[in-house]
Amino acid sequence: MTDTPLEAALAKLTDIQRQAVEWKDGALLVLAGPGSGKTQVLTCRIARLLDGARDKNFRVLALTFTNKAADEMKDRVTAFVPGLGERANIGTFHSFCGQVLRQHGVHLGISPDFAIYALDEDRRAILEDALRRAASAGEAVSSEDGRYLSLIDRMKERLIEPEDAEARLSRFDDRSRIALVYKLYEDELRRVNALDFNSLIFEAHRLMVSFPAIAARYRRSHPYWLIDEFQDTNDAQYRFVRAMAGDAFRNIFAVADDDQIIYQWNGASFRQIQRFRADYAAELIQLPTNYRCPPAIVDAANRLVAYNTNRTQAKKPLVAGKTDLRYPPEQHIQHRVFETDQEEAEGIAQEIAEKGNAQWGQIAVLARTRALLEKMRAALQQRGVPSTISQRRDDFLSAELRWLVASLKQVVRPLDKRNVTVLIEAFNRIAEIGVSVDQVIADAEATGRSYLATWLAAAGREIASSPKRRLLELIGKLMKEPSGARKVTEDILAEFERAATDTNGESDLTEDVAAWREISRDISKHLGRDIPLDQFLQELQLRSKEPSPTPGTVTLMTIHGAKGREFDLVYVIGLAEDVMPSYQSRQKGDASPEMEEERRNCFVAITRAKEALILSRAQSYRGWQKQPSRFLVEMGFAE
């Protein structure tokens, strides 16, 4: 009798991995080093919990930090236990909080079809509207108070309510004004039924605290929780989990690595791991074996991170577990030194070019800053090597896709004045017309027609060409039949693709259409093809609009962007003092939290390599002489 997919996966686990997977009840912290098989442990545990309770209907909750990680976990669980995947509720913190607010936000006055404003320009516009409205009503505010938006963000990240803001801002002379602006901003979001990115966790936390019966319902329906990359949780995320768990719930399975905390600027901290162990009396299991990197890289990583002090006591060093080595030991780690940063970029680019296009797709160049990557991209381009700087995109690049998204939003939210502005301006660029935003809004409000219908009439009067008129006809059709959004969207994308044929596949539009199809496919796969349009748009706002790279393309990434990724051959460039580690971290001191984070950055970078690692530095950057990075010294590659 052949094994089921789950049985086959369980049979391949090591003893310590199996111990984690089979953990029964109670809190557990799994310290999982890079390449230790943590995703397999997480997904096997979820699948095993579901497989062992086929006659039950509870769900398992798993929270991650990227949609890519969530999608991969869903795919694995579905493959392990066909037919049970729907009972695995896997998503990012923000996606799950959005789900919670769709179902229960009405208790806070939030309608399920809320908009998500993830872009800074949208949030600034919301605050400007709030200030304008308040000033006209006699409040002592002005447009200059828009400068407080970043401070409002920080308060929301700390779960500070508007009514508590003044007391918490005691060191600010203008604290009462800041508190007023914060309240006006929140009131305006509520007035237009919108949330910004930080609101998702802020409001979900408020819901759990204000309505403990809702938290209890989630504990009953989801009796097992798993949290991936737990070291990256900030205070708000931790407190949200705490509020949902209540006083007695303990079935939390947290996977973390305190050597990969590289989001201190976003509130991630070693203290979160300590808090978890203290708050939940969590047991500890360690997964120190690295199956990704050759032994030389594992040894270098251990030497490097041993210089950090903010780590779990008695943490085990990484153990090399990779046995299928492609290259001889002397090629596993190499060190390059160049005269200048320009020579570094050109030297590395030439080396990559000579490897041939068969290898390019499995090569990554990692750097501390984007500026170094730009120089690298130019050097590769000169040699005919295709490359892409991989980074999260919160919005589409092309006017066409921005217009499409805005049109879909306007169908769902016909009174959204901010969105209709985006819609009109994007279409003006596409069709090279000049429809006035103010005129459309004024005409709509004077006649009682919707903004979208008024704009369609105005744009129709200015357009003669049939392809552009076709777009208007499709949106008109969507207005009448919102349930046909999928078909109308496909027809619009087909029009865009026809228009893009003259660009030889190199335009922003081509990239955006590819990204849309990829995102749409993932959302449909994991949430269903028939999800409501408003839910689709909420999920869309939370996902990166970056398309997958073209095969045979060298990947250029900042180290923060590379976390969770792996490549056959990795180049880490810019290993010089004031570059990596940065000048700012050096100013903070050798034993500072900032310097420890820089060291963890380097640790993350070198452990992305599956076959070989090249460490590179120049003797001068931007004309300034630089010493070798202390991290090279600590790993034994410089003195």
Report the binding-site residues: 32-39
CB 293 within 8 A of CB 301: yes
Task: With CA atoms as reference, report the closest residue to 527 among 90, 204, 64.
Answer: 90
Q: Which CA distances in Å does 181 have to 109, 171, 236?
A: 20, 17, 22
108-118 in b/e form (b: 16+ CB < 10 A) is eebeeebbbbb
Task: With CA atoms as reference, report the closest residue to 495 among 469, 477, 523, 519.
Answer: 469
Task: With CA atoms as reference, report the closest residue to 367 among 225, 235, 561, 227.
Answer: 561
The percent helix, strand, coil of the chain (3-state, each to 5) is 55, 15, 30
Task: With CA atoms as reference, report the closest residue to 31 among 257, 228, 229.
Answer: 257
Pairing of strands 115-117, 554-558: unpaired
Rounded Cα distance between 152 and 199, Å, is 11
CB 251 within 8 A of CB 23: no
Task: With CA atoms as reference, report the closest residue to 214 among 191, 252, 240, 190.
Answer: 240
Instruction: Enumerate the known binding-site residues for ATP.
Output: 32-39
Q: Which CA distances in Å does 465 have to 272, 414, 431, 510?
A: 59, 27, 9, 22
Nearest-10 Cα torsion for 18, 20, 22, 26:
170
Rounded Cα distance between 176 and 303, Å, is 51
